[in-house]
Structure 1
Amino acid sequence: MAGWKLIALDLDGTLLCTDGTVSAANRRAIERARRAGVEVTIASGRQRWGLVERLRDELALTAPFVTANGGQVWSGDGRCLEQHLLAPEDVRTLYRLARTYGAYYWTSVAGRQPPPAGLREDEIDHYAWLKFGYFHEDPRVLAAIWDELAALGRFELTNSGPDNIEVNPAGVNKARGLARVCAEMGIDASQVVAIGDSLNDVAMIRWAGKGIAMGNAAPEVKRVADGVTGACWEDGVAQAIAGLLDA
C-alpha cells in the first residue's frame, strides 16, 4: 500500500459519473480505503455549499477538504481554515473582460448567498470573491481572454473543461489547499494520492506523492500524472483505489 495516508478526489469528471452521481463501485472503493486506514477527501472547484456538503455526508468523509480550487480550506467539522479572495479591483477587471468579449461568466463568493445573475459593476464591492469563471463556445475567444489575463500576472488560470476558464488569485490552487489539509492531518505530501481530470487538477497531481489522471482527462493532465486510470464512466476512481490498495 506504499504508506498512503490520503486520497484527494476531484468531483466533476472524476468521482462523479456523467449524471452527477457517485457510482456504487466508487462508493465501495472509498469505504474500502477508509477501512484500510487511508482517508479520502474532496478537492473541488465547487463551493462547499450544496453538492460538496451532501457528498461528504453521504460518503461519511471526515478529513479536511478543499473548495473553490483552493480558495477555501475547511476542517473536517466545517470550520474555514484558510480563505483566499480576489481583490475587488481585480474582479472589476474580470467583469469588464467578460463584457468586452461577450463571454458568459460565473462567480464563487464566500458565504451562501450568491450575487444576482444580473450583477452590476457597482455591486462588486458588496461581496467577498473566491473565484471568477468564463464560458464561451469559441476556443479563440477563450484563448484571447486567457492571454490577456496571463499578461497581467495577477491570476491563477485553470479550467474544469475545454469550454471554460477559472480564475483564482495567483498562487491559489488545489495543491496549496491540500498542503494545508496535510498540515492539519500531520502527514506529508509524499503520502497523498491526487486524482483528477482537468487543468485545475494539474497543480495537485504534480504536488502529490502520486498523481493519477482519469481516462477522460485532458491531455495536459495525463502528461503530468504518474499514471492513468479508467474514465469517470468506467469507475476510474474505484480502479485507481484498487490499484493502490492491492499493490
Structure 2
Amino acid sequence: MVPPLVLDIDGTLTTRDHRIDPRVFELLPAWDAPVVFATGKAFPYPVALAHFLGRPQLVVAENGGVVYDGQETTLAGDPDACRAVVETFRERGGDLGWGDGDTVNRWRETEIAVSIDADERLLREVVAASGADVEVVDTGYAYHVKSSGVNKGKGLALLADSLGVTTDSFVAIGDSENDVSTFERAGESYAVANADPDAQAAADRVLAEGFMDGTASVLAALREDSDPA
C-alpha cells in the first residue's frame, strides 16, 4: 500500500516557471491513499486542483488558516489582526504589490499575502511594532502575514484526525519555510532541491532534483516500495 501524502504546491508540484507540472495529472489521480494539498495559497486554489485531479478535496490552505476535510471547513487565527497590520503597512507607504485586481488576496480568509518584491524590512517592522499575535512567513513566493501558531502541521493534524489516520503515516514533500511544520509531523519528509535552508534542515532527506522532478522521484520510489512484486 502506498502511504498518504501531504504535498506543497508552489515549488513542489510546479515547474521552474510556476506552472503546474503535467505529471501531477498522471501520478496523483490514481494514488491509492489520501493526498492532502498543504499550501500558502488561498482556499479555492487547492480545492480546484483536487477537483480537476478527481480526488477528494483534502486541503490545508493559507498556511494552516483554512482546513477542509471534504465536508467541514475549519478556520484558524485572527484575520482582523492580520488585516490591521497590513493596513498600517500601507499607511506607511508599503505596497502589497499585486495591483488593483489583487486576486492573490481576494478569496483569502485568514491571512494576507504581500508580494515578494514588497518592502520586507518595513513589513516586518510594522508587524513587530503592532504587538499583535501576528508573524511574517516567507514562502519564497510571497510574504504571508498570518497569526502566530497557525501552520500547515496543525492543519495536517486536524485532517489526519478526521480521516482516522496518524500524522506519522504521511509522507511530506515541500520546498519552503512554511513546510517545516508538516515535515515535523509527518513520518517521512522530503525537501526538493530548490527548497530554502529551513525546509532542507527540517527534512529527513534533501532530494537531488528540484520542483516536480524531485517530487516525481519520491512518488516513483514509494510506489515501487509498495509493489508486492
In structure 2, the residue matched to 1:43 is 38
**Is 1:30 aligned to residue 21 of structure 2?**
no
Deviation track 1:85-121 (CA, whole Å, cap 9, x = no partner) reads 4252552233202432523267xxxxxx938xxxxxx
In structure 1, the residue matched to 2:136 is 157
Deviation track 1:127-153 (CA, whole Å, cap 9, x = no partner) reads x94112223537xx4145335535736
Is this contact kept in 2: 1:85–1:129, CA < 8 A? no
Is this contact kept in 1: 2:94–2:123, CA < 8 A? no
Query: Is there any run of 5+ residues in structure 1 with no aligned partner, and where?
Result: 107-112, 116-127
**Is 1:72 aligned to residue 66 of structure 2?**
yes
**TM superposition shift of 1:201:** 1.3
**Residues 129 and 76 (structure 1), Cα distance of their counterparts in 2 relative to 1, 3 Å cut:** closer
Structure 1 CA distance for aligned equivalents of residues 21 and 116 of structure 2: 30
Within 5 Å, which residues of 2 pair with 1:79-90? 79-80=72-73, 82-90=74-82
| TM-align CA RMSD | 2.7
Structure with the higher helix share, 1 or 2: 1
Structure 2 CA distance for aligned equivalents of residues 14 and 169 of structure 1: 24
Deviation track 1:197-231 (CA, whole Å, cap 9, x = no partner) reads 11111211222111211111112211111112321
Structure 2 CA distance for aligned equivalents of residues 155 and 60 of structure 1: 36
**TM superposition shift of 1:178:** 0.5
Query: Is there any run of 5+ residues in structure 2 with no aligned partner, and where?
Result: 99-104
Structure 2 CA distance for aligned equivalents of residues 93 and 24 of structure 1: 38
**Is 1:132 aligned to residue 126 of structure 2?**
no
Overall identity of the aligned pairs, in %? 26
Structure 1 CA distance for aligned equivalents of residues 19 and 82 of structure 2: 35
In structure 1, the residue matched to 2:124 is 146
**Residues 200 and 98 (structure 1), Cα distance of their counterparts in 2 relative to 1, 3 Å cut:** farther
In structure 1, the residue matched to 2:218 is 240
Structure 1 CA distance for aligned equivalents of residues 215 and 82 of structure 2: 36
